[in-house]
């Protein structure tokens, strides 16, 4: 349960957990994140319900000058994203059994404290005053045997009951599970996750030339021999995207079918719903299927960014850029753009979902966006969709902030609904 003014875990216990986090292996090496964590903890516990502003954090914690403008400087958001990841890392590895869980919810700078409910422990209760329970000193006891037999009996009975329940409910499990699935997942993913056949998830694996030891580059069919093409590499964002999708489909008690792009055929596309992970620049099968019409992946043909992959805005709205480009290729990626698109398949009764960035980080962010309840709800609200039967083709553009190779902030820039 989340703490309120009554502090179920106790204020002192909360700060003890903060101290434990600051001294952990996950956070010990980052003075700025430790300072931010303690500041947010003090503010959340001393002023529950009062929102802390980016300006406060920037000037009071991160040492930014008084002229700090959060609209033009994303430092606070980036640091909050890093802290969020470090907390998740800590509880996954160092503190899976800690009594207090500290979280920094997305879209907020207020820490949430949750108290783990301990598992019930069975204990033997011996009534006082019963002579039958008294033994002479040195007399062997049968109590251990009794407890062991009783325990084994309980386990045997439990396993029999579990087996019966599993057999009796095997056909009902998906139905029961769906009743507890949050509405945004049911609305957005219902078509893909409840069909008679699970969709194919097609992840990109572009052709490369060269070797990791000597340097690799994209395969160029005009100058490279087909025999030197390597098609067994993919980006880290694609891997993590498939993991996110698997988690969502597990909510529906549904499995995924996964295939790399180079092995996918158009015959598969004719009779299946598809989820493409990666842009047409690397997921080459996308070039042979109906694709996006509003936000189109395109390589720049001239100028200083010639050859770079960008997202062309086919019909810019007031205030929108005509093309969106990630950070310069020779620099560490800090900005990326990604597209989420639901388009009709070759067979109009089938659907194709495209999750793609101009880099692997954008691809990861696109998948995470439709796999998180809060961001998925935001997307559905922008689309004006509240029932699964109302889902229709659309395209959405995301701006992704990247820190140390991890997408930390994803903003929904634009949404376009398409005619069916």
Q: Domain coordinates of the chain in residue numbers?
A: 11-115, 183-417
* pLDDT score at 313: 93
* pLDDT score at 420: 59
* pLDDT score at 168: 41
Quick one: DSSP state of residue 195? S
Specify whether the backbone of 278 is left (phi greater than 0), alpha (psi in -120 to 50) or beta: left
* pLDDT score at 96: 86
* pLDDT score at 329: 67
Q: Nearest CA to 95 among 196, 174, 211, 17? A: 17
* pLDDT score at 288: 66
Alpha carbons 164 and 151: distance in angstroms, whole number: 20
Under 8 Å CB-to-CB from 321, ≥6 apart: which residues? 313
**Torsion angle of alpha carbons 236, 242, 243, 245, nearest 10°?**
140
Alpha helices in 23-142 (DSSP H): 31-46, 54-60, 75-93
CA-based torsion, 27, 333, 260, 265: positive or negative: positive
> pTM of whole model > 0.75?
no
Residues of the chain under the 50 pLDDT cut: 1-7, 119-179
């Amino acid at each position: 349960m989340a703490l309120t003014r009554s502090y179920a875990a106790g204020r002192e216990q909360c700060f003890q957990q903060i101290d434990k986090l600051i001294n952990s292996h996950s956070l010990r090496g980052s003075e700025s994140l430790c300072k931010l964590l303690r500041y947010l903890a003090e503010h959340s516990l001393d002023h529950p319900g009062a929102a802390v502003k980016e300006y406060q954090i920037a000037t009071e914690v991160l040492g930014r000058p008084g002229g700090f403008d959060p609209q033009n400087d994303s430092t606070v958001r980036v640091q909050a994203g890093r802290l969020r990841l470090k907390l998740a890392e800590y509880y996954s590895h160092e503190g899976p059994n800690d009594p207090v869980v500290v979280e920094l919810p997305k879209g907020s700078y207020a820490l949430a404290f949750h108290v783990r409910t301990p598992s019930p422990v069975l204990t033997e209760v011996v009534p006082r005053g019963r002579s039958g329970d008294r033994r002479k000193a040195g007399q062997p006891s049968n109590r251990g045997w009794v407890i062991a037999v009783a325990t084994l009996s309980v386990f045997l009975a439990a396993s029999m009951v579990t087996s019966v329940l599993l057999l009796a409910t095997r056909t009902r499990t998906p139905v029961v599970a769906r009743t507890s699935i949050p509405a945004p997942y049911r609305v957005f993913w219902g078509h893909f996750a409840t069909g008679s056949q699970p969709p194919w998830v097609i992840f990109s694996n572009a052709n490369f030339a060269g070797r990791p030891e000597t340097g690799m580059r994209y395969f160029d069919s005009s100058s490279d021999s087909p025999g030197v093409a390597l098609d067994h590499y993919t980006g880290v964002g694609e891997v993590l995207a498939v993991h996110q999708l698997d988690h969502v489909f597990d909510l529906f008690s549904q499995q995924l079918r996964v295939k790399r792009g180079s092995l996918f055929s158009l015959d598969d596309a004719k009779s299946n719903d598809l989820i493409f992970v990666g842009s047409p620049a690397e997921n080459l099968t996308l070039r042979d299927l109906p694709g996006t019409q509003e936000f189109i992946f395109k390589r720049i043909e001239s100028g200083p960014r010639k050859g770079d992959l960008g997202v062309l805005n086919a019909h810019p709205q007031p205030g929108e850029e005509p093309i969106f480009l990630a950070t310069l290729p020779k620099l560490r990626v800090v900005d990326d753009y990604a597209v989420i698109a639901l388009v009709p398949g070759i067979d109009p009764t089938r659907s194709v979902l495209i999750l793609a960035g101009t880099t692997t980080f954008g691809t990861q962010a696109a998948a995470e966006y439709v796999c998180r309840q809060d961001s998925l709800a935001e997307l559905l609200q922008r689309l004006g969709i509240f029932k699964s039967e109302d889902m229709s083709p659309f395209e959405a553009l995301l701006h992704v902030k990247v820190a140390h190779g991890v997408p930390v902030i994803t903003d929904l820039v634009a949404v376009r609904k398409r005619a069916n």
